[in-house]
Structure 1
């Protein structure tokens, strides 16, 4: 006979899971995270303003690269975010495919163009930096090549979101590609350790002290924090826009539009 006691009295984890599911619907996501956009944007602007002025105007030149190294204050945050966003998309893809949480699919759809843009910025700034450092804009270095593959993966995910926009399979193909493409992330991360490449090693690691003086890495850290905060604000804003478009026929959206005079 089934254990009726367990059925009528769910465990703590079951209650927590059910409680979590009540917060991940599109309406709940919109209500919870909408106020975050303003404050994340303000914090991002503060960090980016201080970090950029400090890094571009007051940080000392590098003893080998001179002032050309200053592009690091754009290149490193954009490259780091490009990897982080794709990893987030892969995790969201698993959540969407396994637990059918539609909000995860919308967040991934909102993140994809942002990650693609940051990946392109990373490639462009890296090429600009490479010219005075390596004497050429591009080499088929392991890190550069795997980063270029990441840009194609982003483009593929966006194309799949667009191709299946009006079908019941919307997001499934994009989620699968995001998950499969995640195998490229450790290759990008550890390519400088696995192969003899021109690309320098990591600027920040959890196990070693920064390889730059404090007046160089502190503004870089501010740029990193500011970039992640700005990306979070943009991701929430874009997700909320997609939610309004998807749920436009629902009463709560019409009420929101009426109260805020949107559209």
Structure 2
């Protein structure tokens, strides 16, 4: 049964402090973008949430592979927990992108290649969570979802590369942009610093949430085991 962990408590406090600092940097430290104005400030959270979604699904991929190789149930817990977090941050990424798109593209949504692939990725990992929750038989569920988690990861690099493979109106932050891209802007030094700080903050937050979620799952499995033993004694 999980016990209080001082390092996890420290990470939790650190995450809260970093979030407060990131809000300051996004709203005050970063300069106002000349063309888009203050709506551009959502960009820092939009990109950072997309980064964490990709990181979370990468962790699901790696731990799914390790689970299949070792049959260690702990890796299944991490894979499932990380997928949950990835879905949450993908939702944040899609919603924040829509809010940003409304004044820039004059629409909440368009079936642009990046938005389409991101939505497919989101749906694939929601399906992963449904599989993990719905399949009967612990061993069967773990093996099927591990294989699914490996295959589903194909959607992650595809989503990243979508704006580089197909014509798109989505802006490109790293690399050259499509001539049709709308919302493109030049990053100043302060903007770059703010983006890196926010992405780092989200990374710390991700590992903190992951640690908490794995501990909760361990506790849930422990209680389920006790309940099973109680009813079968």
Cα separation, partners in 2 of 1:167 and 1:67, compared to 1, 3 Å: same
Deviation at 1:166, TM superposition (A): 4.7
Pick from 122, 126, 129: which aligns with 2:100?
129
Pick from 197, 218, 225: which aligns with 1:243?
218
Residue 171 of structure 2: aligned partner: 200
Runs of at least 5 residues in structure 1 that lack an aligned partner in the other structure: 1-26, 205-209, 252-263
Moved more, 149-158 or 219-228: 219-228
Larger radius of gyration: 1
Cα separation, partners in 2 of 1:179 and 1:201, compared to 1, 3 Å: same
Give the structure-1-normalised TM-score.
0.76
CA deviations over 1:42-99 (Å, ceiling 9, x no partner): 2222222112112113321112211110011221111111111111101111111122
Deviation at 1:179, TM superposition (A): 0.6
Paired positions, count: 218
Pick from 215, 231, 234: which aligns with 2:206?
231
Q: Describe the SS at the equivalent of 2:97.
A: helix
Give the structure-2-normalised TM-score.
0.85
Cα separation, partners in 2 of 1:60 and 1:110, compared to 1, 3 Å: same
Contact preservation (8 Å) 1:46, 1:226: no
Residue 217 of structure 1: aligned partner: 192
Q: Describe the SS at the equivalent of 1:235.
A: helix
Deviation at 1:223, TM superposition (A): 1.4
Runs of at least 5 residues in structure 2 that lack an aligned partner in the other structure: 176-184, 227-233
The CA RMSD measured in Å over matched residues stands at: 2.4
Pick from 44, 54, 59: which aligns with 1:88?
59
| In 2: Cα distance, 1:84 partner to 1:111 partner | 9
